[in-house]
Amino acid sequence: MTRLTAEIVKALPAPVRGNKVNFFAGAIVQGLPAPKGFGVRVTAGGAKSFILNYRLRGRQCRYTIGAFPDWSPLRAVREARTLRQRVDRGENPLGDRASQPETKTVADVLDDFMKRYVLAPARSLRTAREYESVFRRLVKPYLGKLGIHELRRSHVAQMLDRIEDENGPVMADRTRAYFRKALGWYAERDDQFNLNAAIVRVAPRANSLERARTRTLSDEEIRSIWPALAEAGTFGAVVKMLLLTAQRRTEVAHMSRSELGADGVWVIPAERYKAKRPNPVSLSKAALAIIEAQPRAEGCDYVFVGRTKKTPFSGFGKGKVALDKAVVNTKGGHPCSTGLCMI
């Protein structure tokens, strides 16, 4: 005879993607048998909730009882037995929820946040692409299908543990920050949503001192990649400029010809500089030669022009992959061994 305990529910494995229902009809919980259709749904992110599947008037229905561990197996089985009795009488438990607003999923909330906040014309965040990428790759596959009111700190912590293992602590903390921002935005619009229960007390993964960027490229590492940069098109030119000016990636990629003075000084305007003040950068002859070599696009003031010939260069991902392959084929070994992982 199968028994169902909190330890058994806790040990249920998460699927690679989507969600999986583990049925426990007939399982005994402290002497009480679980009814037909009773089970535990597990998401790819490890979130678990008790459900009851039933058929009524030829239609298959699923009722979500509550999330584990907020609901214990015993409490969930008692509720499931009550629901099952109502179904046997011809009642539909889901009908009680019909008059209530449809519960949003985590994915719904993230989509609304992107549309109304991140991508709002009045705001136009520079990190919009990062938000979209983090939500699409790291959050939605694990928590997207979970009802927003079912979300608990344990769900978020398990998701961040997985991200830390697969992508590192810095990416886990970035995901935590973006997700917390989205949930905070939603909490202002839903009085029933408990932000504290969902994420507020979930601790960061990376130590702030460990995250400080102290790594620098050696002369040998620069010599190893410089020849390959000449064959890397606009991406190579941008990387050369990064090495010659020691400025941030976005500042260099968004360099405009109107920011360049006749005296060979590039003035990064305050609205583009982190310190919010103009930053004059004296350009060497090598840097000026790179700028002079860049093709001009009609009607576009950017020095390093993107694919559309109207926007600044942004193809760092593909450029980095191609550069890694070029250096590995030439020098051998892993690209990280030459410092390329820093670019």
Q: Which two tokens stand for residue 237?
A: 């030119």
How many Å from the N-terminal Cα to the C-terminal Cα in the chain? Answer: 59
Mean pLDDT of the chain, nearest integer: 83
Tens of pLDDT, residues 13-70:
998 887 899 999 999 999 999 999 999 999 888 889 999 999 887 778 889 999 999 8
**Domain over 106-200 is classified CATH 1.10.150.130:** yes
Per-residue confidence (pLDDT) for residue 248, from 0 to 100: 85
Q: Which two tokens stand for residue 164?
A: 């830390």
Average pLDDT over residues 128-157: 90
Q: Which CATH class is domain 6-97?
A: alpha beta
Q: Which two tokens stand for residue 108?
A: 């719904």
Phi, psi of 126 (to 5 degrees): -70, -20
- What is the distance, to the nearest Å, from the Cα of residue 102 to the centroid of all Cα atoms in its chain? 25
The whole-angstrom separation of Cα 326 and Cα 335 is 9
The whole-angstrom separation of Cα 174 and Cα 25 is 41
Q: Which two tokens stand for residue 88?
A: 């046997």
Tell me: pLDDT of 334 over 60. Answer: no
Per-residue confidence (pLDDT) for residue 200, from 0 to 100: 64
The whole-angstrom separation of Cα 55 and Cα 49 is 20
pLDDT confidence of 193, banded at 50, 70, 90? confident
Per-residue confidence (pLDDT) for residue 209, from 0 to 100: 53
Per-residue confidence (pLDDT) for residue 53, from 0 to 100: 93
pLDDT confidence of 339, banded at 50, 70, 90? very low
Tens of pLDDT, residues 250-307:
888 888 888 888 888 988 888 887 777 888 889 899 989 989 998 888 888 898 888 8
Q: Which two tokens stand for residue 41?
A: 């749904």
Domain chopping of the chain, boundaries: 6-97, 106-200, 219-342
Per-residue confidence (pLDDT) for residue 199, from 0 to 100: 76
Tell me: pLDDT of 135 over 80. Answer: yes
Per-residue confidence (pLDDT) for residue 79, from 0 to 100: 95
Higher pLDDT, 217 or 84: 84
Tens of pLDDT, residues 306-332:
888 888 888 777 777 777 777 666 555
* Least confident piece of the model among 17-31, 106-120, 213-227: 213-227
CATH of domain 219-342: 1.10.443.10
SS3 for 245? helix
Per-residue confidence (pLDDT) for residue 276, from 0 to 100: 75
98 close to 87: Cβ distance less than 8 angstroms: no
Q: How many CA atoms lie within 13 A of 54 on its CB side?
A: 25
DSSP state letters, 218-232: -HHHHHHHHHHHTTS
Tell me: pLDDT of 210 over 60. Answer: no
Residue 29's H or E segment, with its range, is: strand 28-29
The whole-angstrom separation of Cα 279 and Cα 340 is 27
Q: Which two tokens stand for residue 318?
A: 């593909």
